[in-house]
Amino acid sequence: MDLKAELKAAVERAAADLGAPVDVAIQETPANKPGDYGTPAAFQIAKALGQNPAQVAAQLAEKVELPQGISRVEAAGPFLNFFVDVGTFVRQVVEEPTLIPAKGGKVVIEHTSVNPNKELHVGHLRNVVLGDSMARIFRAAGHTVEVQNYIDDTGRQAAEALFAVSHYHRVWDGVQKYDHWLGEGYVRLNADPEKPSLEEGISAVIHRLEAGELRSEIEKVVRAHLETCFRLGARYDLLNWESDVVGSGFLAQAMNILEESRSTSHPTEGKYAGAFVMDVSEFMPGLEEPNVVLMRSDGTAMYAAKDIGYQFWKFGLFEGMRFKPFIQDPEGKTVWTSAPDGQPDTERRFGHAQEVINVIDSRQEHPQKIVKASLGVAGHPEEEERSIHLSYAFVTLEGQTISGRRGIAVSADEAMDEAQRRALVELEKLNPELAGRDDAGEIARRIGIGAIRFAMLKAEPTRKIDFRWEQALALNGDTAPYVQYAAVRAASILRKAQEAGYAIDGTGADWNAMPDLDLALAKMVAKLPEIVEQSVRIHSPHVIAQYALDLATAFNAWFNARDKAGKSATNVLHSPEGLREARLALVGRLRKGFEETLALIGIEVPSAM
């Protein structure tokens, strides 16, 4: 149910009848104002018609056809206020499923893309959780979503890690997680004072990587990385390897496209003589130096040129790579990989996006702007508009800056182990009966993983995060356990009602007996579709996390409400017959709302807390 959308449409029809089509905003009225929803549309219409806003509001009040669930409308000066029919509204919220307006089009989301040289650390988790949550949210909004993970298998970091294996005569025991083992050598090499003298050996490994000779070694790291990400709840559709992107001729094809633009050139004199240069001033105004070198005078490519080629492929501007199955995720779905020995993409399965979202940290903001501008230079303004950089700030751990190179980090695997361990300890303190249950470990897993994911999502991506254990796992405040506990409390009410023989599906409900207290809770439950739309529009999952907190807070306020005598005003099981059944149905819908909301950000509701 999306009553605000229905009101918007109704007011817009009435405005059109008055001769002034407008885009109407519907807002919740402030607590100290009459009505439940309102609109300032009369101002817009009055301006278009040259009339008095208050008079226009009065005309609108007469013309607007009220959707089901709205009992009446009043003109309050230049504003239009709508009053909800409590019983009808709550019943609609309870009985109608969450209807999110379906959007079309394919969205490619690239995230994770961690160098295959060592294990993921806790700072990487922000990237993974942001990207995975965006994929879930865009799917819920009706988009076809393809999640890509870029594997830099020819980079220096991977070469150093593999060089350390031979240089220090290291042998993997087959027991330790492979990415952790490999990372130990990488950290050791970067702390070795003799490293500058080892450059020749490192370069030799880079050449072997570029030739594809060591791909099987990198695959071991990638599999270990995926194991970590799967545990966190992330899922992928395609792994794209740097060596395959380069080997597929993306660079040449992208440069050929850009050659046709009036914004590219081959200067014959000056500091850019002999280079291939792109002028981005039309698309990135205000730059001190708007000329971007794509190809050096010696014919070698700048890194931005490679990124441009890859972005062009994502949008389907050309074909090129081959693919084959790589691994199955925990749900049994195939994760594909680019591969020289794979099959051509004759079904156009991969790429061909209408929108591309690259989840990359804030250090890459300028390069990502250049990639975006290149689409405009190439004559693809729609693709330029839909080339999105989801930029995020760094994560510190208990106030400490993370550095994988120096080994100053907590691994993602260790963080998840610790989260689950701490969750189990807290469970035993709060509810000792749970400690002996067979599902205690699963309850702790859901709480621990949920705490990590929520801590990475609750703030806007551009804000820095200091991850602290006690804050993340607290039952009070802006945490996943706070929301999960509210969901578990709702389930507990329903369970007790069933044990008492009461209907929880609305049978026997007296909807007209519901007071405004219940209306406030139902209105919060009904907001999910507009929250999803907002998240998609601004390309950030933090609004979903904030809504989850608002939903839990609204439920707790409703649950703890008191009448004038200080008694519980919402004791469901002791409510009068009819009102009791209506409230139980509302609590059931609320419980489903918690599950739907948390699922959008990859958090599961535990069976008990």
**Residue 34 CB neighbour total at 10 angstroms:** 12
Q: Given this model, what pLDDT does residue 475 score?
A: 79
Say whether pLDDT at 374 is over 90.
yes
In the chain, the N- to C-terminal Cα span, in Å, equals 31
Nearest CA to 7 out of 108, 83, 103, 115 is that of 83
Partnered with residue 82 across adjacent β-strands are 37, 73
Q: Given this model, what pLDDT does residue 2 score?
A: 74
Instruction: State the average pLDDT over residues 503-530.
Output: 95
Q: Given this model, what pLDDT does residue 62 score?
A: 93
Q: Given this model, what pLDDT does residue 599 score?
A: 98
Say whether pLDDT at 231 is over 70.
yes
Q: Given this model, what pLDDT does residue 200 score?
A: 96
Say whether pLDDT at 322 is over 80.
yes
Say whether pLDDT at 371 is over 80.
yes
Q: Given this model, what pLDDT does residue 324 score?
A: 97
Q: Given this model, what pLDDT does residue 4 score?
A: 86
Where are the extended beta strands (E) located within 111-232?
A: 144-151
Say whether pLDDT at 389 is over 70.
yes
Give the C-alpha separation, 289 to 242, whole Å. 29
Angle (CA) 563-81-33 rounded to 5° is 45
Q: Given this model, what pLDDT does residue 537 score?
A: 97
Say whether pLDDT at 186 is over 70.
yes
Q: Given this model, what pLDDT does residue 407 score?
A: 59
Q: Given this model, what pLDDT does residue 545 score?
A: 98
Give the C-alpha separation, 206 to 157, whole Å. 9
Say whether pLDDT at 203 is over 80.
yes
Q: Is 365 helix (H, G, I), strand (E, B) or coil?
A: helix
Instruction: State the average pLDDT over residues 154-164.
Output: 96
Say whether pLDDT at 402 is over 80.
no
Q: Given this model, what pLDDT does residue 494 score?
A: 98
Tell me how far the alpha carbon of residue 122 is from its chain's centroid.
17
Q: Is 269 helix (H, G, I), strand (E, B) or coil?
A: coil
Q: Given this model, what pLDDT does residue 404 score?
A: 61
* Residue 115 · residue 365 · CB < 8 Å: no
Q: Which helix (H) or strand (E) holds 195?
A: none
- pLDDT band, very low/low/confident/very high, at 406 (cuts 50, 70, 90): low
Instruction: State the average pLDDT over residues 543-570.
Output: 96
Tokens 């702790």 sit on residue: 444
Q: Which of 235-239, 402-406, 526-530 has the highest mean pLDDT?
A: 235-239
pLDDT single digits (tens) 87-98: 999 999 999 888
Give the C-alpha separation, 58 to 333, whole Å. 57
Angle between helices 41-49 and 53-63 (to 10 degrees): 110
- pLDDT band, very low/low/confident/very high, at 408 (cuts 50, 70, 90): low
Nearest CA to 522 out of 480, 458, 582 is that of 582
Q: Given this model, what pLDDT does residue 409 score?
A: 73
Radius of gyration of the chain (CA): 28
Say whether pLDDT at 131 is over 70.
yes
Instruction: State the average pLDDT over residues 599-605.
Output: 98
pTM of the model: 0.93
- pLDDT band, very low/low/confident/very high, at 405 (cuts 50, 70, 90): low
Q: Given this model, what pLDDT does residue 432 score?
A: 87
Instruction: Of 148-162, 169-183, 407-421, give the lowest mean pLDDT range.
Output: 407-421
Instruction: State the average pLDDT over residues 384-401.
Output: 91
Instruction: State the average pLDDT over residues 39-67.
Output: 93
Tally the C-alpha atoms within 13 A of residue 316's C-alpha that lie toward its C-beta: 16
Could you give the percent of the chain with pLDDT greater than 70?
Answer: 99
**For the chain, how many helices (H) and strands (E)?**
23, 18
Give the C-alpha separation, 410 to 417, whole Å. 11
Say whether pLDDT at 292 is over 80.
yes
Tell me the backbone φ, ψ of residue 345, rounded to 5 degrees: -85, 70
Q: Given this model, what pLDDT does residue 446 score?
A: 97
Per the model's pLDDT, the better-predicted residue between 516 and 490 turns out to be 490
Per the model's pLDDT, the better-predicted residue between 588 and 96 turns out to be 588
Mean pLDDT, the chain, whole residue set:
94
Task: Outline where 26-111 has alpha helix (H).
Answer: 41-49, 53-63, 86-95
Instruction: State the average pLDDT over residues 515-519.
Output: 93
Nearest CA to 222 out of 111, 113, 361, 342 is that of 113
